[in-house]
Structure 1
Amino acid sequence: MRLLFLAVLRRHTGNAVTAERVRDHLEAAGHVCLLKDAFDLESSSEVAHLIRAENLEAALALHLYRGGRLLQGHGIPFGIIFGGTDLNEDVKQREKNEVMGRVLGEARFAVAFTESMKETAQTQWPHARDKIYIQSQGVMTVPNAAFNWNTFLHRSGINQSADNLHIFLLVCGLRHVKDPLYLVDAFSEWHREEPNVYMVIVGPEAMDLEVPVLARNIPGNAAVVKHEVTGLLFSDPQDFVQLAKRLVREPALEKELVANGREYVRRYHSWQAERDTYQNLVRTLEGSTGE
């Protein structure tokens, strides 16, 4: 099947990483998946032209509002993947909320990343509750035994052994709420007090690395990280430093967070289960026409 996949594709963001991963799942099942940046398509007529020119049979969109609204009324079946922006921000704006409700009415299915996202969507749009799915459970393993911390530190300009350091990885995107410089001032002050603590800013990362997670307390993070169970949630830079110092002081807490985080990823964010979910849902689009 020839599929159009709309997503916001700014580099190094969660949207772009997720879109590439989902496209890989679909192409592994034999589909042709044309991935396009939703921001490059300014109108529904442009999408209609693209569908005709590429002989596309069905579609998928990441973000109910940003991508899904462009798929209405074209006579091809489509599915939706909720983004955090849909349920944490756009849902609060009446006009966008109404648009998203209409998109869900036409969509054949919608996928939420977490149970809390699914519950929020079902509350907002009860008419679509039976077509909202959550990614299923399974087992996930990522080989990372070959990673050499000392080599990484040397390349980062930190000329000390990893055995003597406490290193915090800042996983971030580009939106204001994920500002990569949010913690710099507070962390720099701590580093001046204790030179063996460092912060390293990186792109995509995850609980599966078997390191404790400290995340900013915003809805998207809180849906995944449960405070003092699968990780720690901080409200401001000073709070982050205090929680980080607690991790350094309490190795038992670090060990517990690592174990719980790893188990959470294994149960709820399985790469194989995610692949199975999207491949199975997209099959429901085959051989059908838009309503």
Structure 2
Amino acid sequence: MRILFLAVLRAHTGNAVTATRIRDHLDAVGHTCILKDALDFESSSTLASLIDTEKFEAALALHLYRGGRLLQGQRIPFGIIFGGTDINEYIKHGEKKQMMGTVLEEARFAVAFTESMKEMALTKWVDPVFTSEVKARVKRTAGVQLMGEMPREDLHAIVKNCFAVVNSSISEGMSAAILEAMDLEVPVLARNIPGNRAVVKHEETGLLFSHPQEFVQLAKRLVNDPALEKKIVTKGKEYVRLCHSWKSERDTYQNLMRKLQ
């Protein structure tokens, strides 16, 4: 894959050394990674011409503000790497902070070199007002516990010890949590929205609810009907095996990547 890598490349600086090291990592696995100095481009339109001419397929930027802002609206997917200046300086300026937040929304992924940098980014951009509201609501709700991020192995161990997994999202593409629960043989109760209906067949691979009262009714039914629970668990496991096989997914992506070469 031809990858455009934007960074500030002043000679003998930490940025230049870091960018070169990352480029070498990408080149080592067969990609063609081209380093360009972000300061050479006056605007996104100038960069767009280079992308078209050089036929870049993806991009990476070191620094949200210096490099990432140039990738906004481009026709290729991109990821960003936080720079110290982003977190320590630019975040203090309202316009620059807003710009960096917009870049984060469009980026496919973001990389932070340290935990403190990651925590600062989460605090400044994950929507702190909404987060505080959720935490306050959880504290007032009996029987509900808010869990933070955890390793996958620990999460799976917790899920396997639960009676059911509930997905109450109002918008989903394809819920990995639902598929993981099915694979772990744990019943699923999910909100009846298009994304969930795509993977949950009501009373076959899970239970779908449209409002709180229906959720309560279905949850009670599941608790009191071992035959229904067994049916859902069995069919859910089979559905994941047939339609979401890890091996099939791996083979599919490998084949798709060949089309980009």
The alignment's TM-score, normalised by the length of structure 2, stands at: 0.49
Greater share of residues in helix: 2
| Bigger relative contact order (CA 8 A; separation at least 6) | 1
Larger radius of gyration: 2
TM-score w.r.t. length of structure 1: 0.44
